[in-house]
Chains A and B, each alone.
Chain A
Amino acid sequence: AQSVAQPEDQVNVAEGNPLTVKCTYSVSGNPYLFWYVQYPNRGLQFLLKYITGDNLVKGSYGFEAEFNKSQTSFHLKKPSALVSDSALYFCAVRPRYSGGYQKVTFGTGTKLQVIP
């Protein structure tokens, strides 16, 4: 069975400081990995994804994520946090199999609070 762990319920960071939101996963083979963001009372928005190749993936709003196969991690990063980055962040994994629909599994989410 596949699973995603986001070990921190909340991450607090000062505005201008770098931020990291952690994600580890368990799935057979080489999965597709995703980050989504949810602002209050809104749906989720796609931020970025890892498919193959370069382990550092760049996405929307200056976010990037680092894929580490040996540690089965896909941590979300940003060099300089903005107050407007405050939101709920979800990591997700999808197996890379052909044929049929492959289920996406989400983590439980990490609330990012950027302090002015």
Chain B
Amino acid sequence: DVKVTQSSRYLVKRTGEKVFLECVQDMDHENMFWYRQDPGLGLRLIYFSYDVKMKEKGDIPEGYSVSREKKERFSLILESASTNQTSMYLCASSWGGGTGELFFGEGSRLTVL
């Protein structure tokens, strides 16, 4: 089974802090994604990566950056956390070809005070 592991399930940070969310997948997937989930808004794509060191902006990239130095690891960075970034963050991965179903991690719930 595909396993996508997010390093932190729950985080509490203060406004202005730098936040790192880590995600690791163990199935050699080419594509990796970071989504943000908010009630009533569904899932919104922040960034995705289709190869090592490659990244593409999603729908809501402002205030975020990403890093993919190794194929299995995709990090989401909040350079200066703000209260409106309080949310559930979901990492996902998928094969490069095929139909593209996504495999999700358990999520990281971030609260910014």
- B contact face: mostly helix, strand, loop, or mixed: strand
Q: Which of B13-21, B71-79, B99-107 contacts A (4 or more CB under 8 A)?
A: B99-107
Which chain B residues (61-113) contact chain A, with CB distance < 8 Å?
90, 92, 99-107, 109
The chain B residue sitting closest to A43, CB to CB, is: B104
Is B25 at the interface (CB under 8 A from chain A)? no
How many angstroms between the C-alpha atoms of A36 and B90 in the bound complex?
Answer: 13
**Total A-B pairs, Cβ < 8 A:** 52
Can you identify 30 A-B contacts, CB atoms within 8 angstroms?
A9-B40, A32-B100, A36-B102, A36-B104, A42-B106, A42-B107, A43-B4, A43-B92, A43-B104, A43-B105, A43-B106, A43-B107, A44-B43, A44-B90, A44-B92, A44-B102, A45-B104, A46-B102, A90-B43, A101-B48, A101-B50, A102-B100, A103-B45, A103-B58, A104-B45, A104-B102, A108-B40, A108-B41, A108-B42, A109-B42
Which chain B residues (36-56) contact chain A, with CB distance < 8 Å?
40-43, 45, 48, 50, 56
- Name A104's contact: one of B4, B100, B105, B107 (CB within 8 Å): B100
- Name B99's contact: one of A9, A51, A107, A108 (CB within 8 Å): A51
Is the CB–CB distance between A46 and B107 below 8 Å?
no
How many residues on the A side are at the interface (Cβ–Cβ under 8 A)?
Answer: 23
